[in-house]
Amino acid sequence: MAEFEVPDSLENYFSDKKIATAVDDLVEKLDGDNMIECDWTEARNYNQALLFAAQVRADLIELLFRIWENTFGTCSPETLGEAYFLSESATPAYLWEERTVEVSYYRDSSPDDGGRSEALLVILSDAQICLWVFRFENEEQFAGLGGAQGVEGWQLETEERGSYLSNIPVKIVDMIADPDAIITRFRDDAKRMIEALSAN
């Protein structure tokens, strides 16, 4: 398998607070029509800065997709049921804001009918990246996780709708420093989890 690489734009974004702050501010302006008050040179520089911000956003989104593909995606997730990817949750603005990609798998029904499903996510939160697993009884309610709760490398988390599982988070700067080691660990975590979910 080819080495897993993290783009330089993300290394700069996550290692330099000034760059991160500037990019965060500029990404909000990518879809806008209003231009700052400026002269010729400033306008040119501003548009170059917007281009860099757009590149960081695209690289971050692509990184999340690639992490999902190189972890859950390599572990036969189709054994969990029919795959469903919600395209409305894949706009650049949504993915930048939420910093997560998700695919759901429906066991006993189709996505249109609702019913029991497992959602497999990659999420970046508080400068840490991790895998999450939700099991839904229906669109509103979490279901019990059964034997998946005891899977090595995973911890039980709770929110108002119920419990879900998270593997041990990794700082994004550590992933940038050694992406292959992190992807290998995450892939192993995903494999154990999908096996456990498939069994119950």
Q: What is the pLDDT of residue 112?
A: 67
* Range of the structural domain that residue 49 is part of: 8-69
Mean pLDDT, range 91-102, rounded to an integer: 94
Mean pLDDT, residues 180-190 taken together: 97
For the segment 20-41, what is each residue's pLDDT rounded down to a tens digit? 999 999 998 887 777 778 898 9
- What are the pLDDT digits (tens) for 144-165? 888 899 999 999 999 888 899 9
Domains in the chain, number: 2
Does residue 125 share a domain with residue 34? no
CB proximity list for 50: less than 8 A, separation 6 or greater: 26, 29, 30
Residues 39 and 106 in one domain: no
Nearest to 125 by CA among 163, 172, 168, 56: 172
Is residue 2 scored above 60 in pLDDT?
no
- Tokens found for residue 124: 């970046």
- Cβ atoms within 10 A of the Cβ of 54, count? 15
Residue 2 lies in a domain: no
**Backbone CA torsion sign across 146, 148, 151, 154:** negative
Percent with pLDDT over 70 in the chain:
94
Q: Residue 94 falls within a domain, yes or no?
A: yes
Same structural domain for residues 77 and 112?
A: yes
Residues 102 and 141 in one domain: yes
| CATH number of the domain residue 169 falls in | 3.30.1460
Assigned domain for 1 exists: no
pTM exceeds 0.85, yes or no: yes
- Does residue 37 sit in the same domain as residue 79? no
What is the structure's pLDDT at 114? 66
> Residue 1: which pLDDT band, with cuts at 50, 70 and 90?
very low
pLDDT confidence tier of residue 64, bands split at 50, 70 and 90: very high
Q: Is the pLDDT at 16 greater than 90, yes or no?
A: yes
Are the CB atoms for 198 and 79 separated by under 8 Å?
yes
Residues 78 and 161 in one domain: yes
